[in-house]
Amino acid sequence: MHKSHEHRLFYAPEYALHISRKGKPCQICMGTKENSLELYYLCVKCDMKFHFECLEIPVSLFKKSYHIHPLVCKILLGEEDSLEYCGVCETMVRARAPAYTCEKCDFLGHIECILREEKPSPLYLKDLYVCT
């Protein structure tokens, strides 16, 4: 989920958009961007699209529950047939898609997986509230 919309958003490059969504504007800027990277996120439930740039996704972040190092948002520059997998959901990450990567190791994660609301594990809570 993103703060601008109540449902989960999914990445879809311009060529993958269904014809019925092609004519619809971005729900944040209400327009089309000629200089856009043509990267969109879709709400399947509402049949709405959002420009990647309009979502203002953080360039870098640190989420202890997903990875031990800081993560940086980048567009993957792999070949279409290259296989990369998300370290959170363990499903394939598309080539030429924006994703969070680790500059210190080989970790990679879908933006939607990394930005999902964190739920601390019981072990993490135990470390915070241990009585001595």
Predicted local distance difference test score (pLDDT) of residue 16:
52
Report field, pTM of the whole predicted structure over 0.75: no
Predicted local distance difference test score (pLDDT) of residue 1:
45
- Rounded CA-CA distance 2/112 in Å is 8
Q: One fold for both 10-55 and 60-114?
A: no
Is domain 60-114 in CATH 3.40.50.720, yes or no? no
113: three-class secondary structure by DSSP:
helix
Predicted local distance difference test score (pLDDT) of residue 51:
80
Strands (E), the chain: 10-13, 39-43, 48-51, 60-61, 71-75, 84-85, 92-93, 98-102, 108-110
- Rounded CA-CA distance 53/40 in Å is 9
CA of 119: how far to CAs of 66, 74, 115, in Å? 10, 25, 12
Is domain 10-55 in CATH 3.30.310, yes or no? no
Predicted local distance difference test score (pLDDT) of residue 13:
63
Q: pLDDT tens digits for the chain (132 residues)? A: 455 677 777 777 654 555 445 567 777 787 765 555 567 788 878 888 888 777 777 888 887 677 888 999 888 776 665 678 999 889 988 877 888 999 898 899 988 888 876 665 555 555 555 555
- Rounded CA-CA distance 48/22 in Å is 10
**Sequence ranges of the domains in the chain:** 10-55, 60-114
